[in-house]
């Protein structure tokens, strides 16, 4: 299958600082990328959907100004957690797909810890 690479895999930051997470599709052009937050052992909560060259569509309850998403090219999307707080500590995972309603490939995820 196609490869999606996410970096960093782990990051620890101080409260109040910002953190950027990258999601790259290595061998295909991703017209759509998804950002999820995954809770311990379980559910993938969709945060936002981004399409290359357009603004991300955020799910209800997700703060746009806090979770900045940029999808500037067909192979790269970034999630920036701004002014991070301890409650933002979580596992963030991206996925990407080439066409609508086809297989979405996942990155390896990023464990964010805010201290």
Residue ranges that bind other proteins, judged by CB under 8 A: 1, 32, 34, 36, 41-46, 49, 51, 57, 59-60, 93, 95, 97, 100-104, 106-109
Return the number of the residue (23 or 114) whose C-beta is nearest other proteins: 23
**Residue 27: is the preceding peptide bond cis (ω within 30°)?**
no
DSSP string, 82-112: -S--GGG-EEEEEEEESSTTS--EE---EEE
Q: How far is the CB of 57 from other proteins (least distance, A)?
A: 7
Q: How far is the CB of 9 from other proteins (least distance, A)?
A: 11
Q: How far is the CB of 90 from other proteins (least distance, A)?
A: 15
Return the number of the residue (81 or 105) whose C-beta is nearest other proteins: 105
| DSSP letter (8 states) at residue 53 | T
Tell me the C-alpha distance between 71 and 44, whole Å.
Answer: 20
């Amino acid at each position: 299958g196609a490869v999606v690479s996410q970096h960093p895999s782990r990051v620890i930051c101080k409260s109040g600082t910002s953190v950027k997470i990258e999601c790259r599709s290595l061998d295909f052009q991703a017209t759509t990328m998804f950002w999820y937050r995954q809770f311990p052992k379980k559910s993938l909560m969709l945060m936002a959907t981004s399409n290359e060259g357009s603004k991300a569509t955020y799910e209800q309850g997700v703060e746009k100004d806090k979770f900045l998403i940029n999808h500037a090219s067909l192979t790269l999307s970034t999630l920036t957690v701004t002014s991070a707080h301890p409650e933002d500590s979580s596992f963030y995972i991206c996925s990407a797909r080439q066409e609508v309603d086809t297989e979405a490939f996942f990155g390896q995820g990023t464990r964010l810890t805010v201290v």
